[in-house]
Structure 1
Amino acid sequence: MSQQQKIEDLALLRSTVERLASSLPVTDMHTHLYAPEFGELLLWGIDELLTYHYLISESFRWSEEDYSHFWSMSKREQADWIWKKLFIDHSPVSEAATGFITILQSLGLDVTSRNLDDYRRELEKRTANEQVDDVMKLAGVDKIVMTNDPFDPIERPVWLSGGGKTDPRFYAALRVDALLNDWPNAVKELQNLGYEVQAEWTERTKAETRRFLSEWIVRMDALYLAVSMPGDFRYPAEDHRSKMIDEVMVPVCQERNIPFALMIGVRRRVNPSLKLAGDMSMLSDVSAVEALCRRYPDQKFLITMLARENQHELTVLARKFRNLMIFGCWWFLHIESMVEEMTKFRVELLGTSMIPQHSDCRVFEQLIYKWGHSRRIIGNVLADKYEKLHLSGWRLTEEEIKRDIDDLFNRNFWRFLGKA
C-alpha cells in the first residue's frame, strides 16, 4: 500500500500508527545530557543510572540508615546498595526502576542473570562515543538539546576554548536560573567573568547582564533561554524576577529572536538530607504565564509545569496564545499514567499543535526507556483518536499519520523556533 493510499482497515490503521510512533526520529528538546566533548559532564553507565536521584529517594523508602552513611559511600557502593534495596529485596515496579530494566534489555544484557558486575563489565568495554551513538540509535533520538550553564566551572572552559558545538546532533540552551533565583551569587559570577554588575539594579547592571546573555547566546548558538522556577513565581510583581524578565531577558530574547523557556513548579530541597534527590513539586500560578504571553505577544514562550493540578489550565491557556508552546511531562509527571492522561487532554484541546514529551534525562541511557515508554503511550493515544475518525468515515493515509507524528516529535519545536 502506498503512503498516499487511504487506510481502510482498522487493525492496519492502529499498527501503522504504532509503527510510526515507535520509529520516527525525535528531537529531544530539553535534557541535562552533554556531548562527549564535555568530558565528565556526560553521565553514562550502570553506576550513574542506579545513583540517579529518582532511585536514591525511592531506595530510602526501604531504609532506616542515616543519610550520611549513604553519602559517605563511593558511587559504586551506592549503586550496589540501591540495586539491593529496589531490585533484589523488592520488585522494580516503579517507573524509574522499570526504566532501568528496560535499558538493560535494550542494550542486550541478560536481565535474568541479575548480575550487576556483568552489566558493568559489558558497558566498561565501550567508549563514551560508542555509547552515545548506540543509545541515540536505540532511542530513535537524532537531535538533543542540552542545558548549558556559563557559571559551571567545568563546562565554561569548553565553550571559551571554542568547543561545545563539535557534534552536530547536540544543541545548546542557555540556563539562566542564577540570574532569576540567586542574584547575589550571580553578581559574583558575572563580576568574575568581567561584567560590570552590582547587586543594586542600576542601568549599568542591566546593560552588562544583557551583554552577558547576548554574548553567551552567540557563543553557544543557544536555541532558547531556560529557567526552572519555584511554584511561588508570580508575574508581574514588584520583585527582582519581574525586573530581570522585563528589562533583561525578554529584550535579549527579542533581539536574538529566541524563545524563553520556563519550567515552573519546583520546591527545592524539602528534605536537604537527600541533596539533589530532595526536591519536590508544588502548585503554581498559571496566570503568571498568561500575563507574560499577553504583555509580550511577539515573544515566544516554551512552558512546562510540574504540578498535575496545573496541567489542564495551562493547556487551555495555550489555546488562547499562539506565542505559548507547552512541552513535555516534566520530572514527577514523567510516569506512564500521567503521560497518558496529559497527552489525551492535550490532544483533545490542542490537536497536534504541542510538544508532548521531552526526556529531561541526566544519564545518557535513560533516553532508551523515557522515549520508549512515551512513544508507546503517545502512539496509543493517537491510534484511539484516529480510530474514532475512521468510525466516523474519515480515512487517513500513512503520509498524514507520519506528518502528525513528525509534528509532535520534531517539527513543532523547530517551527516554534522559526527554524523548520
Structure 2
Amino acid sequence: MTSAQVNTRTGAGGAIQTKAELRRITEELAMSTKVTDMHTHLYAAEFGELMLWGIDELLTYHYLISESFRWSEGTYEEFWAMSKREQADWIWNKLFIEHSPVSEAASGFITILERLGLDVSSRNLDDYRQALASRTTEQQIDAVMQVSGVEHILMTNDPFDKVEREVWLSGGGKGDARFSAALRVDSLLNDWPFAVREMKSLGYEVEEAWTEGTVTEVKRFLGEWIGRMDALYLAVSMPGDFVYPAQDHRTRMIDDAMIPVCQASGIPFALMIGVRRRVNPELRLAGDMSMRSDVASVEALCRRYPEQKFLLTMLARENQHELAVLARKFRNLMVFGCWWFLHIESMVEEMTRFRIELLGTSVIPQHSDCRVFEQLIYKWEHSRRIIGRVLADKYERLWDSGWKVTEEEIQRDLDDLLNQNFWRFLGRAR
C-alpha cells in the first residue's frame, strides 16, 4: 500500500482520526487482504476430474446432503441411485424452495451465487447452471480466486489415489504456481494393510510387520513423494481416540518414519485430530462425526520433538481452549483454522476471539477446507468479516488506553494472520 493510498483512506498524514474510522479501516482491510488458504481439498485444473466446481457439485456437497435428509422420509438408496443433477435438484427443493437456506452451508451457496453475479432473487436453478456452462475450468479458477481474494491454495495430495497419482508420475501437478502440495499420509497411519498393498504395487519392498527394511522403504516412499510434489507439509486426519505415545503402529510410524523424514525435508507435520468416521455409513462421505481428543498427545509430540514443527487443528469444540493454551507453551506448535463442523460463524467467532486473546496475532485463524472450488468465496467472505470484527474490537480497546494503531500496523497484522504466519512457520519467504 502506498503512502498516497494511506492518506486517502485516513486523512492528512495517514493518522486514524476516530474509533469509527479505526473500525471501518480494519474491517475493510480484513475483506481485501490477500489470503493463503493453507489447507483445502481443492486441485489445480491439470488434475482433471478431481477439480470439482459448478452448481451441481456445490449442491451435492456432503454438508447439504446430510442436512437435506433431515427433511426427507425417502431412503438413502433412492438418493444414491439418482444422477448428480437429480440429486442437486432434490437438495435445491428441500433446502432452498421448501425451506429457507439459513444454515451456514446453504446460505454460503447463496453468497456464492450473488458474488458470481447471478440473480439470487430468480430462484431459477437452471439459469444458474446455464450461466456457468460456457466457462472452462481455468476460467472458473481465475474468476473464483479473484472474487474470493485467495492468492495461494494448498492442496491435499494422496499418492494412493490412482487418478491423482498418474498426474504426478507423468511429471504434472506443478503447472499452476498458485497451487502447492501437501502430502497426505492417512492410510499409512490409519489403514496400514491397505498402505502396504499400495506401496508394494508401486515397487516398495514393505510388509505388514514393522521390520527395519519396512521402515527404510516407508521413509524412501515419503521422501520420494515429498520431492516429487514439493510438498510443503505432511498431513494426516486422525480419529479422536488417537493417543501418543502408545504401544501401537501409529506411534512406531510417527517416531521411526514420519518425524525423521519431516526433519530431513525441513517441513512441518500437520495433524487434524478428532474425526469419527462413518457414524452413519448410509450417508457415505456425509456420515462422519466429531469426537473429543487427547490434547496431552499433542503435548507429548511437541515435547519429544522440540525441533520439529507441528501444524495442529482439532475437531471438537471442547478441545479448542486447551489447545490454544498449549500453543503458548510450545513455539513449535502452530494452531490453525476452524476445521470441518467448527467452520460455522458462531464457532469461528468464538475461537478467533479466544485464540487472539491468548496468542495475539501468532496464529493461523482460518483455512477453508473446501472441496468444491466456488466454496472459497463464501468461506473466506464469512471468515474475513469475523476476523475483521474481532481485530477491530481489540484495536478499540487499545485506542481507549491511548495506544493508537496505524493503518500500516493493521495491514501488517492482517497479512500475518492471513498469509505470513503460515509461510514464516514453514521457513519459506513469501
The TM-score normalised by the length of structure 2 is 0.97
- Hey, what does 1:120 align to over in structure 2? 129
- Hey, what does 2:3 align to over in structure 1? none
User: What are the equivalent positions in structure 2 for 1:232-381 lying under 5 Å apart?
Assistant: 232-381=241-390
* Deviation (angstroms), 1:378: 0.4
SS at match of 2:14: coil
- Hey, what does 1:193 align to over in structure 2? 202
Read off the aligned partner of 2:374 and give its amino acid letter: E
- Hey, what does 2:62 align to over in structure 1? 53
Distance in structure 2 (CA, Å) of the matches to 1:114 and 1:6: 46
Give CA-to-partner distance per residue, 1:134-157, whole Å, 9 cap, x none.
000000001000000000000001
Read off the aligned partner of 1:124 and give its amino acid letter: A
Read off the aligned partner of 2:54 and give its amino acid letter: G
* Deviation (angstroms), 1:224: 0.2
Give CA-to-partner distance per residue, 1:298-321, whole Å, 9 cap, x none.
000000000000000000000000
- Hey, what does 1:25 align to over in structure 2? 34
Distance in structure 1 (CA, Å) of the matches to 2:84 and 2:402: 58
Distance in structure 2 (CA, Å) of the matches to 1:8 and 1:310: 40
* Deviation (angstroms), 1:11: 1.0
Read off the aligned partner of 1:15 and give its amino acid letter: R
* Deviation (angstroms), 1:198: 0.2
Distance in structure 1 (CA, Å) of the matches to 2:256 and 2:262: 11
- Hey, what does 1:15 align to over in structure 2? 24
1:41 to 50, 69, 77: 50
Identity of aligned residues (%): 76
Give CA-to-partner distance per residue, 1:3-38, whole Å, 9 cap, x none.
873323111101110111000100000000000000
2:188 to 168, 179, 183: 179
Give CA-to-partner distance per residue, 1:162-190, whole Å, 9 cap, x none.
11000000000000000000000000000
User: What are the equivalent positions in structure 2 for 1:72-221 lying under 5 Å apart?
Assistant: 72-221=81-230
- The answer (yes or no) to whether the contact 1:195–1:212 under 8 Å persists in 2 is yes
- The answer (yes or no) to whether the contact 1:8–1:395 under 8 Å persists in 2 is no
- The answer (yes or no) to whether the contact 1:31–1:359 under 8 Å persists in 2 is yes
Task: Count residues with an aligned counterpart.
Answer: 420
SS at match of 1:62: coil
Give CA-to-partner distance per residue, 1:88-116, whole Å, 9 cap, x none.
00000000000000000000001011000
* Deviation (angstroms), 1:64: 1.0
Stretches (4+) displaced over 6 A: none
Distance in structure 1 (CA, Å) of the matches to 2:230 and 2:412: 28
Distance in structure 1 (CA, Å) of the matches to 2:88 and 2:275: 26
Distance in structure 1 (CA, Å) of the matches to 2:169 and 2:282: 35
SS at match of 2:163: coil
Instruction: Please report the RMSD computed on the Cα atoms of aligned residues, expressed in angstroms.
Output: 0.7
Read off the aligned partner of 1:207 and give its amino acid letter: T
SS at match of 2:237: strand
* Deviation (angstroms), 1:43: 0.1
Read off the aligned partner of 2:270 and give its amino acid letter: A
User: What are the equivalent positions in structure 2 for 1:386-397 lying under 5 Å apart?
Assistant: 386-397=395-406
Distance in structure 2 (CA, Å) of the matches to 1:179 and 1:329: 25
Read off the aligned partner of 1:44 and give its amino acid letter: W
Distance in structure 1 (CA, Å) of the matches to 2:397 and 2:404: 10
Read off the aligned partner of 1:267 and give its amino acid letter: R
* Deviation (angstroms), 1:291: 0.2
- The answer (yes or no) to whether the contact 1:59–1:86 under 8 Å persists in 2 is yes
Q: Gapped runs of 5+ residues in structure 1?
A: none
